[in-house]
A and B are shown apart, each in its own frame.
Chain A
């Protein structure tokens, strides 16, 4: 594995960990962080989060990562699952 790739994997893992912990602590999901499937839908039938949880999640992502999500439907697509959130955070970090 090249250094670049292993750095990428390490930072992705770190962000993934943090996002999972936000979900457990703030959303009070009764599930260990490691057990949260990164591809499971957060809302509806997946992890069962709802619109009120979404409000808090958006605030947490802004506070912890500085990820600013507007109220547009595209923004909502970015918080469909843990992985889409991690993607958005990494994309933002790359741009800056």
Chain B
């Protein structure tokens, strides 16, 4: 039995005001936060409006500076709402899950690190980078940190800033509306926004705090369809919603209000409406109160999900239904009657569902509310096993070659990575694939092939992909930047723009290999791959929406790394519930300065009085592969257990923004005689 994670507060920096009181007042008045853009010149574009954070409309400071400022404002607002003294955070087991994508040339973990430092957050700070689903997923993972006992209190949300490059990319794709967007309405296209929002999520009984709502469940899925367009029938969106309902243990008929992604684009709104009807049925689909908050706040990208959850929570608490601002009549292929009063109207509901979708086909849905029922049961924990591993770096094309690098403990003389993906995957359209996508797809494909898995039929939906990656592939970043330099802001390279996300490799790999189950891209800097393994193991153990998850990592270095290709690397481990000779027996996640706590957690979950027989460390000779090196260590540990070198092994990594420890044990009966 476990208690459902409680939401005890929230805070925002939004286009309808900085601070939740301002957002609440504006929402209740039916205000619209979309206005002509003042921060940069839009005269060469066909769209000129955006939803900038109030008071920052003309602020031209660097995006990373604004991201930090928005994040800090929203976090402090959330702490005040939850009646938490910022000074007290150091004494609690507090974690941060941050949705942030920072299109372009940035490592996303730096923002999490600076926000955690400012607020003295000692626990893990995990960045989720899946574009428009980033903060929605961050809330889901935050709830999991509570459910799994990895933290007592989590600050979960997201941040994004509207930059000229981001505006130019969306403009090139032709998805921006001329005037303020009207989701599901007659004005076609979306309006970009920005902002930050955070929830305070905590375990019951931690302190004397008002529970404002419970997080009941979340669901993830991938379309495996296209880098920017949603799968037209909304198959992936429907899968995420079903998985969230399942996780929450509720049926669709219990949902009283649905906050749709509703960007306003033709493709999104139509696909989402297909998904809603497929889950709720035609009748309930047409009658369930649903709306999109983007008419008020624009599309705040990585912050969109959390701002929409917060808008819903504000309305739910006051017995109101959020409305679709600007909607004046339905468009063909959309919901006929979204909630669209000028101001939120009374509606009593106890459970709400919020759905978001992103570039590359990432989907996430959340179920939350005030339902006064018994706490959620966490099902029996299932054992999780490692079936196969694949490794790729200079001097190693498989785990056996990786093992010889471990044995020799010296850098490989051969620094070239040989992949011929077109030969390995002759039937897959690999046009325009970037370096990170190529490496990730190669290892994932090899690991699945070695496990004898052909992803067809239901196996596609039952297979997930969790990737540790710090940034977008440098070749895509370079292509996008040089297209802007050479051709100007109005003519960016649209293909490269779509790949400017840390999650681009995950999406490309999922598309190439037809992986449609739960998926995400996470980042803690050094050790990201090990965290991807820990999250995969946890999800398989306590959820029922997948049978296996490929836990992977990828690094691609920019030029200037000595020795050319050294630093490009990828690793994949297929984790599943089908028994194999190696079991994941313990996982631990803690703050970057608390590796000992991560190890203690893993040891406790394992339940053995003795320490593991073998400790595998990161490869010393291969430096400069922050996401992958710890995955290599885990793959090598699996290899060592299979060789009979030990019966248990641990990999522990002190990462940049979190520490992770995983203990593996051999399930083979070993005869001592």
Residues of A within 8 A of B (CB): 27-30, 48, 50-53, 55-56, 59, 62-63, 71
Nearest residue (CB) in A for B172 is A55
A48 and B487 in contact, given A30-B422, A55-B173, A56-B495 (Cβ under 8 angstroms): no
CA distance A29 to B429 in the complex (A): 10
**In contact, A30 and B228 (Cβ under 8 angstroms):** no
The answer, yes or no, to whether B77 is at the interface (CB within 8 Å) is: no
**In contact, B229 and A55 (Cβ under 8 angstroms):** no
How many chain-B residues does the 8 Å CB contact rule pick out?
A: 18
**In contact, A28 and B431 (Cβ under 8 angstroms):** yes
Q: Which of B146-194 contact A (CB under 8 A)?
A: 172-174
A50 and B494 in contact, given A55-B172, A55-B173, A55-B174 (Cβ under 8 angstroms): no
B48 to chain A, nearest CB (A): 16
Q: Which of B310-360 contact A (CB under 8 A)?
A: none
CA distance A63 to B488 in the complex (A): 12
Nearest residue (CB) in A for B46 is A71
Residues of B within 8 A of A (CB): 46, 172-174, 226-229, 422, 429, 431-432, 487, 491, 493-495, 498
> Within 8 Å CB of A28, what residues of B?
431-432
A56 and B493 in contact, given A50-B226, A71-B174 (Cβ under 8 angstroms): yes
**In contact, B429 and A48 (Cβ under 8 angstroms):** yes
CA distance A59 to B495 in the complex (A): 12
Nearest residue (CB) in A for B171 is A55
CA distance A67 to B163 in the complex (A): 29
A21 to chain B, nearest CB (A): 16
> Within 8 Å CB of A51, what residues of B?
173-174, 228-229
Nearest residue (CB) in A for B433 is A28
**In contact, A52 and B495 (Cβ under 8 angstroms):** yes
**In contact, A29 and B431 (Cβ under 8 angstroms):** yes
The interface residues of chain B, by DSSP majority, are classed as loop
**In contact, B494 and A52 (Cβ under 8 angstroms):** yes
**In contact, A52 and B422 (Cβ under 8 angstroms):** no
CA distance A55 to B169 in the complex (A): 11
> Within 8 Å CB of B495, what residues of A?
52-53, 56
Please count the residue pairs between chain A and chain B whose beta carbons lie under 8 angstroms apart in the complex.
36
Residue from B226, B229, B495, B498 whose CB has the most chain A CB atoms within 10 Å: B495
CA distance A89 to B538 in the complex (A): 58
Nearest residue (CB) in A for B228 is A52
Interchain residue pairs A-B with the least CB separation, the first 3: A55-B494, A28-B431, A59-B491
> Within 8 Å CB of B226, what residues of A?
50
CA distance A27 to B429 in the complex (A): 12
Using A51-B173, A52-B228, A59-B491 as known contacts, list a sample of 15 further A-B pairs with CB atoms less than 8 Å apart, ordered by residue number in A: A27-B431, A28-B432, A29-B431, A30-B422, A48-B431, A50-B229, A51-B228, A52-B494, A53-B495, A55-B172, A55-B173, A55-B494, A62-B491, A63-B491, A71-B174
> Within 8 Å CB of B498, what residues of A?
52
> Within 8 Å CB of A59, what residues of B?
487, 491
Nearest residue (CB) in B for A47 is B431
**In contact, B227 and A52 (Cβ under 8 angstroms):** yes
Nearest residue (CB) in B for A63 is B487
CA distance A92 to B431 in the complex (A): 31
A40 to chain B, nearest CB (A): 16
**In contact, A56 and B429 (Cβ under 8 angstroms):** no
> Within 8 Å CB of A53, what residues of B?
495
CA distance A29 to B422 in the complex (A): 13
10 contacts between A and B (CB under 8 A): A29-B431, A30-B431, A50-B226, A51-B174, A52-B173, A55-B173, A55-B174, A62-B491, A63-B487, A71-B46
B559 to chain A, nearest CB (A): 21
Residue from A28, A29, A48 whose CB has the most chain B CB atoms within 10 Å: A28
> Within 8 Å CB of B174, what residues of A?
51, 55, 71
CA distance A42 to B618 in the complex (A): 48
CA distance A56 to B493 in the complex (A): 6
> Within 8 Å CB of A62, what residues of B?
491
A93 to chain B, nearest CB (A): 22
CA distance A59 to B429 in the complex (A): 23
Nearest residue (CB) in A for B226 is A50
Residue from B46, B172, B227 whose CB has the most chain A CB atoms within 10 Å: B172
CA distance A52 to B499 in the complex (A): 11
Nearest residue (CB) in A for B173 is A55
> Within 8 Å CB of A52, what residues of B?
173, 227-228, 494-495, 498
> Within 8 Å CB of B422, what residues of A?
30
CA distance A30 to B430 in the complex (A): 9
CA distance A50 to B227 in the complex (A): 10
Nearest residue (CB) in A for B422 is A30
> Within 8 Å CB of B173, what residues of A?
51-52, 55
> Within 8 Å CB of B228, what residues of A?
51-52
CA distance A55 to B55 in the complex (A): 35
CA distance A29 to B495 in the complex (A): 14
A17 to chain B, nearest CB (A): 21
CA distance A33 to B148 in the complex (A): 56
> Within 8 Å CB of A27, what residues of B?
431-432
> Within 8 Å CB of A55, what residues of B?
172-174, 494
CA distance A79 to B487 in the complex (A): 21
Nearest residue (CB) in B for A71 is B174
**In contact, A56 and B494 (Cβ under 8 angstroms):** yes
CA distance A55 to B432 in the complex (A): 14
CA distance A70 to B491 in the complex (A): 13
CA distance A55 to B498 in the complex (A): 12
Nearest residue (CB) in A for B493 is A56
CA distance A30 to B487 in the complex (A): 25
CA distance A48 to B432 in the complex (A): 13
CA distance A48 to B173 in the complex (A): 18
B501 to chain A, nearest CB (A): 14
B479 to chain A, nearest CB (A): 11
